[in-house]
Chain A
Amino acid sequence: MEKIAVAENLRAYYFIKSGDKTTSIRAVDNVSLHFFENEVYGIAGESGCGKSTLLKVLFGEIKPPLKLVDGEVVFKLDGEEYRINSMSLDQLKKIRWKYVSYVPQGSMSVLNPVRKIRRIFLDVIEEHTSMSREEAFSRIESYFEALGLPVRVLDSYPHQLSGGMRQRVTIALATVLNPKVIFADEPTTALDVVVQRGVIQLLKKIHKEQKNTLVIVTHDMGVHAHLATRIGVMYAGRLIEEAETHEIFKNPLHPYTRFLINSLPRFGDRSRKEGTPGSPPSLANLPSGCPFHPRCPIADQICMEMEPDLIEVARNHKVACWKVGVER
Chain B
Amino acid sequence: MKRILRLFFDMWEDLRFKYAVTVLTALVLLSILSIFSPYDPYKWYVLPTNQPPSLEHILGTDGKGQDIFWLLTFSLKNSLILATIAAVFSRIIAITIGMLSGYLGGTTDRILMALTDTFMVMPVFPLLLLLSSLIKNYLSLPILGLIIGVFGWAGDARVIRSMILSLREREFVVTSKFSGMRTFEVVFGDFVPYLIPVISGGFIGSMMGAIGFEIVLAILGFTRVEIPTLGSMFHWMINFQAMLLGYWWWVLTPIVTAVFLFTALYTLSLSINEYLDPRTRMQRIGAVK
Establish whether A and B are touching in the complex (CB under 8 Å).
yes
List of A residues within 8 angstroms of B284 by Cβ: 18
List of B residues within 8 angstroms of A20 by Cβ: 13
Closest chain B CB from A143 CB (angstroms): 39
* Complex: A46 Cα to B269 Cα, angstroms: 41
**Contacting B10 at CB < 8 Å: which of A16, A19, A23?**
A19
List of B residues within 8 angstroms of A19 by Cβ: 10, 13
Q: Is B245 an interface residue (CB 8 A)?
A: no
Interface residues on B, range: under 10
List of A residues within 8 angstroms of B288 by Cβ: 18
Closest chain B CB from A201 CB (angstroms): 33
Closest chain A CB from B75 CB (angstroms): 38
List of A residues within 8 angstroms of B287 by Cβ: 16-18, 21, 23
Closest chain A CB from B8 CB (angstroms): 13
Q: Which of A1-55 contact B (CB under 8 A)?
A: 16-21, 23
Closest chain B CB from A25 CB (angstroms): 10
* Complex: A61 Cα to B283 Cα, angstroms: 22
Q: Which of A267-286 contact B (CB under 8 A)?
A: none
* Complex: A76 Cα to B10 Cα, angstroms: 49
List of A residues within 8 angstroms of B10 by Cβ: 19
Q: Which of B1-24 contact A (CB under 8 A)?
A: 10, 13
Tell which of A16, A18, A21 has the most Cβ of chain B within 10 Å.
A18
CB-CB nearest in chain B for A285: B289
Closest chain B CB from A283 CB (angstroms): 12
CB-CB nearest in chain A for B13: A19
Q: Are A16 and B13 in contact (CB under 8 A)?
A: no
List of B residues within 8 angstroms of A17 by Cβ: 287
Q: Digitize A302-315: 1 where CB-to-B-CB distance is under 8 Å, 0 elsewhere.
A: 00000000000000
* Complex: A18 Cα to B10 Cα, angstroms: 9
* Complex: A20 Cα to B14 Cα, angstroms: 11
Closest chain A CB from B275 CB (angstroms): 12
Q: Digitize B272-288: 1 where CB-to-A-CB distance is under 8 Å, 0 elsewhere.
A: 00000000000110011
* Complex: A286 Cα to B94 Cα, angstroms: 48
* Complex: A20 Cα to B288 Cα, angstroms: 11
CB-CB nearest in chain A for B286: A16
* Complex: A227 Cα to B283 Cα, angstroms: 37
* Complex: A20 Cα to B287 Cα, angstroms: 11
* Complex: A19 Cα to B10 Cα, angstroms: 7
Closest chain B CB from A186 CB (angstroms): 22
* Complex: A114 Cα to B129 Cα, angstroms: 45
Q: Which of B246-289 contact A (CB under 8 A)?
A: 283-284, 287-288
CB-CB nearest in chain A for B288: A18
Closest chain B CB from A50 CB (angstroms): 17
Closest chain B CB from A42 CB (angstroms): 30
List of B residues within 8 angstroms of A21 by Cβ: 287
* Complex: A99 Cα to B284 Cα, angstroms: 40
CB-CB nearest in chain A for B280: A18
List of B residues within 8 angstroms of A18 by Cβ: 283-284, 287-288
* Complex: A83 Cα to B13 Cα, angstroms: 40
* Complex: A18 Cα to B283 Cα, angstroms: 8
List of A residues within 8 angstroms of B283 by Cβ: 16, 18
Closest chain B CB from A94 CB (angstroms): 34
* Complex: A321 Cα to B56 Cα, angstroms: 84
Q: Which of B179-221 contact A (CB under 8 A)?
A: none
CB-CB nearest in chain B for A19: B13
Closest chain A CB from B109 CB (angstroms): 27
* Complex: A23 Cα to B288 Cα, angstroms: 9
Closest chain A CB from B208 CB (angstroms): 29
List of A residues within 8 angstroms of B13 by Cβ: 19-20
CB-CB nearest in chain B for A16: B287
Closest chain B CB from A152 CB (angstroms): 34
* Complex: A296 Cα to B9 Cα, angstroms: 43
CB-CB nearest in chain A for B287: A18
* Complex: A18 Cα to B288 Cα, angstroms: 7
List of B residues within 8 angstroms of A16 by Cβ: 283, 287
* Complex: A240 Cα to B258 Cα, angstroms: 64
Closest chain A CB from B283 CB (angstroms): 7
Closest chain A CB from B241 CB (angstroms): 52
CB-CB nearest in chain A for B285: A18
Closest chain B CB from A112 CB (angstroms): 24
Closest chain A CB from B17 CB (angstroms): 13
Closest chain A CB from B287 CB (angstroms): 4
Closest chain B CB from A66 CB (angstroms): 15
* Complex: A129 Cα to B22 Cα, angstroms: 58
* Complex: A90 Cα to B284 Cα, angstroms: 35
Tell which of B10, B287, B288 has the most Cβ of chain A within 10 Å.
B287
Closest chain B CB from A19 CB (angstroms): 6
Closest chain B CB from A285 CB (angstroms): 9
Closest chain B CB from A130 CB (angstroms): 43
* Complex: A17 Cα to B10 Cα, angstroms: 13
* Complex: A21 Cα to B286 Cα, angstroms: 12
* Complex: A16 Cα to B10 Cα, angstroms: 16
CB-CB nearest in chain B for A20: B13
Q: Which of B137-196 contact A (CB under 8 A)?
A: none
Can you report 11 residue pairs joining A to B where beta carbons are below 8 Å apart? A16-B283, A17-B287, A18-B283, A18-B284, A18-B287, A18-B288, A19-B10, A19-B13, A20-B13, A21-B287, A23-B287
- State the 8 A-B residue pairs at the shortest beta-carbon distance, nearest first: A18-B287, A16-B287, A23-B287, A18-B284, A19-B13, A18-B288, A19-B10, A16-B283
What residues of chain B have their CB less than 8 Å away from a CB belonging to chain A? 10, 13, 283-284, 287-288
With contacts A17-B287, A19-B13 known, what are 9 further pairs, Cβ within 8 A?
Answer: A16-B283, A16-B287, A18-B283, A18-B284, A18-B288, A19-B10, A20-B13, A21-B287, A23-B287
